[in-house]
Structure formats: structure tokens, C-alpha cells
Amino acid sequence: MGRKPDLAVRDRILREAEHVIHLKGFGAASMDEIAKACGMTKANLFHHFGSKSDLALAVLDFKIEEFSRKVGPLCAQAAPERSVEKMFEDAADFFDGIGCKAGCFVGNIALEMSDRDEAFRERVGRFFSRWTDSMAECLERAKSSGYFASGMDARACAEAVAALYEGTIMLARCRRDAGVFRRVAGVARSILEQHKTANRRDDAMGPKTPCGC
């Protein structure tokens, strides 16, 4: 029988590979650099992953699963429009802390690889689908509760928020200016705010948020 894979080693490889690829891009990152970051030989690294593409795809899958574990319902703690605004405010603090460098790992891979490799395009598409699906589901529940107007297109709003967020990352990165997140936060909020019904409730929702989370 073959040895069971060492999950701790695999986890370390994925995290170190993410760091190297994030900073340098897929094309410029080398297996030598990744192996060195992992504290192993390149031959050992190839024992775990047969190619750089296999490793980068595994990193994408790892990021997707990590994202799914960390991110709860859009409006679990506040009304959805406030949660969206806070998402941008939190990003301002985060990117300010790292000097607005590197950008979004998945967004970077999307730009670099989607037109070059179908496997990468599919993985990136899955990431953004999970994110927008999660937001859209919350918005749909809030709409069913009467918080948003019945004519609201929940999926289009979720996709608009995601597109604005990713675009803001790009602007902040190229300008080295995390303040763009704070300037755009109110615009992101307004994407949802405009659909609130006349009998809308306050942001302090009590024990239940508009979607019932």
C-alpha cells in the first residue's frame, strides 16, 4: 500500500505556493522558488504535484474552499446594504495594511490565465460563482421578506457588487491608495439601497436580519 499523503505538508505547500504566485504571477513564479519557500527540494515538490499548473489549480481549489469556510451569509450581522458597505471598509483597512500590493489572488489569476487555459478559467469562474450565488441567495430571501422591492434582480446586484469590489482592488493596487475603497463604499451600498421598499426597516434588525440569517 502507498503512503497516505501528509495533509500538513500539502497545506504548507499550498500556502507557500499561493504566496509566491500571488506576488509574482503564475508565469513568473518558478517551482524552484516555491520549493525553496516550502523548505524542500524541487524533486520533492514534484512528488506532491506533477506540474506547476497542477499546483496552481490546487491552490485555486484551496482558496475557494477557504473562502467558503470563512464567508458567512451576506447579511448575517447587519442589513445587506450595510454589510456590503462594510466589506469595502474592511478591504480599505486590509489593503492599507499591506501597502495595496499584490491585489486579489483569484482576480490576478483570472486576468493572467482565463484566455490561456480552460482549466484555470473554470476554477476562477467557480470561485466567483460561489461568491455571487451566496450574495444573491441572501438578497432573494430579503426580497421575499419585503425588505427589497419585488422587481429587484438579486443576481445582477450581487454581480455588480463583486465587479465593483474587484475593480476597486485594481485601482487601489495601481494607485497605492486604499482610500478608494472608502470612497466607493457608499456607491456599493447604493446598489442595494435603491431597491429598499417604502416600509423598509432600520439597519438595526434585532435578532433576525432581512434574509432571516
Per domain, the residue ranges of the chain are 7-62, 71-193
7-62 classified as CATH 1.10.10.60: yes
This model's pTM is above 0.75: yes
State the Cα–Cα distance between residues 110 and 158, nearest whole angstrom: 19
CATH for the stretch 71-193:
1.10.357.10
- Going residue by residue through the chain, which has 213 residues, state the pLDDT in tens, using 9 for 90 and above: 445 557 889 999 999 999 999 999 999 999 999 999 999 999 999 999 999 999 999 999 998 888 777 766 776 778 999 999 999 999 999 999 999 998 999 999 999 999 999 999 999 998 999 899 999 999 999 999 999 999 999 999 999 999 999 999 999 999 999 999 999 999 999 999 999 997 665 544 444 566 665
